Amino acid sequence: MTVPTLAEMNARGETPEVLFWVGCAGSFDDRAKRITKAIARILQAAEVPFAVLGAEESCTGDPAKRAGNEFLFQMQAAQNIMVLNGYGVKRIVTGCPHCLNTIKNEYPELGGEYEVLHHTQFIQELIDSGRLRIADGNPFKGRRITFHDPCYLGRGNGEYEAPRSALQALDADLVEMRRCKSKGLCCGAGGAQMFKDAEKGNREVNHARTDDALETGAKVIATGCPFCNTMMTDGVKNAEKEGDIDVKDVAELIAEAADLLQPPN
């Protein structure tokens, strides 16, 4: 799989339709890398001209800001904005709601104005326009799936329908947790909590959230955030349900249903 960098496209005088912002988790976490590859395969299958920043991409600064280090956040944001504006980037697709929220809502006041889409929003757009087609007899047809709303996608940015619309394109049996959409429960990783020790309490948040998913009887827990994916996977392991329930990002489900996960011949 060959994915061009923005610098390479720029050198050829080409302009991508979208910049794929991979994010730290999607770049360095082994599990999240599979989500990154699924998104890239979807973009390639839909013949979307896209590029990544590669080594020029740095952390958005979200963890620093949530942890209270505004100075570090502004340093990281300024560096990214300089790179993005230098290339004249207009439209960005992210694999992470944290990156989405930071670039979309917090970069403008620092001089970074872009249209930013979560990957489920862009996938829905591709399906609705006919640029991406789900394979007949896909493996998730009729399968019971529940979706865990990432905080920064749902309550943070008001997007609840795009991931569900993409999942419904699978002809799956989409079931909701009792706490969902605007009343959804956090997986426990947001606000830089992913990178610190748990505080005192009688239970881990992600274990409680996994119980919500188990109550639905779903065979697949769909996520839209690499942090949520990690936390829900840990919750399934804690419940000793690894052999019964899969935890997959929406992009992975779509890529598998569209038969895109195997490298082309």
**Residue range 213-257, pLDDT digits in tens:** 999 999 999 999 999 999 999 999 999 999 999 999 999 999 999
Q: What is the pTM of this model?
A: 0.93
Would you place residue 194 in the very low, low, confident or very high pLDDT band (cuts 50, 70, 90)? confident
Q: Where are the domains of the chain?
A: 6-125, 134-257
Instruction: Quote the percentage of the chain above a pLDDT of 70.
Output: 98
Q: How far apart are the first and last CA of the chain?
A: 11
pLDDT, tens digit, 9 for 90 and up, residues 42-98: 999 999 999 999 999 999 999 999 999 999 999 999 999 999 999 999 999 999 999
Q: Are domains 6-125 and 134-257 of this chain identical in fold?
A: yes
pLDDT for position 258: 83
Phi, psi values for residue 198, rounded to 5°: -65, 145
Burial of 67 (0-12, 13-18, 19+ CB in 10 A): middle
Architecture of the domain spanning 134-257: 3-Layer(aba) Sandwich (3.40)
pLDDT band at 264; cut points 50, 70, 90:
very low
Query: What does the mean pLDDT of the chain come to?
Result: 93
Q: Average pLDDT in the 171-179 region?
A: 95
More confident of the two residues 258 and 226:
226
147 DSSP β-pair partners? 222
Per-residue pLDDT tens digits for 121-149: 999 999 999 999 988 888 899 999 999 99
For the chain, what's the residue count? 265
Q: How far apart are CA 211 and CA 71, in angstroms?
A: 38
* Token code pair at residue 127: 């399906």
CATH of the domain spanning 6-125, picked from 1.10.730.10, 3.10.580.10, 3.40.50.300, 3.40.50.1860:
3.40.50.1860
| Mean pLDDT of all residues in 95-110 | 97
Instruction: Give the list of residues 6+ apart from residue 105 with CB closer than 8 angstroms, or none.
Output: 157
pLDDT of residue 135: 81
State the greatest distance between any 2 C-alpha atoms of the chain, in Å, as a whole number. Answer: 58
